[in-house]
Amino acid sequence: MNNPSLNTHWMPFTPNKGFKASPRMLTGAKGMHWITDDNRQVLDMTAGLWCCNAGHGNPHIAEAIARQARELDYAPCFGFGHPLAFELSERLAHLAPGNLNRVFYTNSGSESVETALKMALAYHHARGEAGRQLFIGRERGYHGVNFGGIAVGGITNNYKAFGQWLPTDHLSHTQDLRRNAFSRGLPLHGGIDMANELEKLIRLHDASRIAAVIIEPISGAGGVLPPPVGYLQRIREICDQHGILLIFDEVICGFGRTGEAFASQTFQVQPDIMTTAKGLTNGAAPMGAVLAGDHVYDAVMEASASGVEFFHGYTYSAHPLACAAAMATLDVYEQDGLYQRGDADGEISQYFERGLHSLKGLPGVIDIRNYSLIAAVEFDAPAGTDIQAMAWEQGLMLRSLGNAIAMSPPLILEKEHVDQTVGILERCIRQHFK
């Protein structure tokens, strides 16, 4: 079928009627670029959906998947295993910070979040604190689209039609335009005071009822909000004081986005549980992984004398093809130095930062914020969708976040790509706000 009907595919997070009236079709990708159905090359400044950190079409990853498909295309994971799953687990545990030595496989970031929430509940239940059922998320946080994720998430459109079916409350978001607009790197103001809001929520609900706090080290889909100085450290201190687990959602930040393998290492804050996906396989196969601290795993294991200790899992957990993709992806990150390439003080990150901040003063621009190779430009009106569409026509893919556009380029970004992005973005902003 060279020209399939567009009517049967119900597309996710997409204005379906609008897309089908004016489709944007991708037929190939290589390196930093997409190839469209009309043979245009489009610069990918979003790493797909925050996931293709090593760029597109990497032959080492593609060959690993093909080789695995010929050798072992599927293996059940309930009561059975295959060697690659254990090899990958050892590798991830070695890469992860602190005692995050226990790896549970999922198929997406959404599933990783659901798994992490269940782990937190199971941990407290095993320790005789089954009353800890409530979770603290954050306004504008994004934790996937399953029912647990939309409950702890703080983006209204994601739950308003479905409800919130998990006991939750939310911290305020960390954006402070009055004091922190146009921050380069971490915002300087308000971090400790913002984090201390958690103390108020603990007094409201009582610590004995709270299972975990779940936050993204850098909020992604909620607007690209780097944490103010001291914020994450203070959240960790408060959780420790009250026996509350801290879950870092590193689905976006993980695998090099902040200049180390994980943002928890960059910001030197140790979570009890960490969710990953996206960059784990460079987007080449659906996969997520939850890394739990030894203390979490040990509590759950020791509470069960025999039989299944944790009644949770997925048909495709530790899928052999996904494991092969992940192993090859980690090879590429390590061999090509991609974890370090996003260092906030590194040459390409600094060039990216300077280029974007040169847009300050353009009509409609009220904030530019960045950390390492993740950034957003915010407008005084919901211009994101229009600017994204104009940029696409000029050969640039951006991500619209309503009043802002976001960028999270592959870590193979070069200066020429930054120059192209800044030039197109400036033209589009001037055109929209003329």
* pLDDT tens digits for range 299-312: 999 998 889 999 99
Question: Based on the domain organization, do 349 and 330 belong to the same domain?
Answer: no
Given CA atoms 46, 49, 52, 57 in this order, what sign does their dihedral have?
negative
Q: How many Cβ atoms are within 10 Å of 399's Cβ, its own excluded?
A: 21
pLDDT at residue 429 is higher than 70: yes
Q: Model pTM greater than 0.95?
A: yes
Question: Based on the domain organization, do 223 and 322 belong to the same domain?
Answer: yes
Q: Which long-range contacts (CB under 8 A, 24 or more apart) does 128-131 make?
A: 129/208, 129/243, 131/208, 131/209
Residue 253 located in a structural domain: yes
Question: Based on the domain organization, do 102 and 175 belong to the same domain?
Answer: yes
Tokens of 80: 């059975």
Q: How far is CA 254 from the centre of its chain?
A: 7
Question: Based on the domain organization, do 178 and 321 belong to the same domain?
Answer: yes
Tokens of 271: 């979570």
CATH at residue 399 = 3.90.1150.10
Q: Report the C-alpha gap between 295 and 313 in whole angstroms.
A: 20
Closest CA to 265 of 156, 347, 340: 340
Domain end position, chosen among 280, 310, 335: 335
pLDDT at residue 403 is higher than 60: yes
Q: Report the C-alpha gap between 210 and 132 in whole angstroms.
A: 5
Domain end position, chosen among 288, 313, 335: 335
Residue 9 located in a structural domain: no
Question: Based on the domain organization, do 88 and 218 belong to the same domain?
Answer: yes
**What pLDDT is recorded for position 176?**
98
CA distances from 368 to 188, 241, 272 (A): 15, 35, 32
Residue 360 located in a structural domain: yes
pLDDT per position as a tens digit, 15-25: 999 999 999 99
pLDDT per position as a tens digit, 314-369: 999 999 999 999 999 999 999 999 999 999 999 999 999 999 999 999 999 999 99
**What pLDDT is recorded for position 1?**
46
Q: Report the C-alpha gap between 150 and 137 in whole angstroms.
A: 10
Residue 160, domain extent: 63-335
Question: Based on the domain organization, do 285 and 422 belong to the same domain?
Answer: no
Residues facing residue 288 across a β-bridge: 106
Q: Report the C-alpha gap between 50 and 278 in whole angstroms.
A: 7
Q: Report the C-alpha gap between 126 and 160 in whole angstroms.
A: 33
CATH at residue 182 = 3.40.640.10
Question: Based on the domain organization, do 131 and 50 belong to the same domain?
Answer: no
Q: Report the C-alpha gap between 137 and 222 in whole angstroms.
A: 13
CA distances from 275 to 148, 255, 257, 308, 332 (A): 14, 12, 15, 22, 21
Domain end position, chosen among 297, 315, 335: 335
Alpha carbons within 13 A on the beta-carbon side of 110:
10
Angle between helices 294-302 and 109-126 (to 10 degrees): 60
216, 174 contact by CB (below 8 A): no
Question: Based on the domain organization, do 110 and 178 belong to the same domain?
Answer: yes
Residue 11 located in a structural domain: no
Tally the domains of the chain: 2
Question: Based on the domain organization, do 271 and 394 belong to the same domain?
Answer: no
Question: Based on the domain organization, do 325 and 408 belong to the same domain?
Answer: no
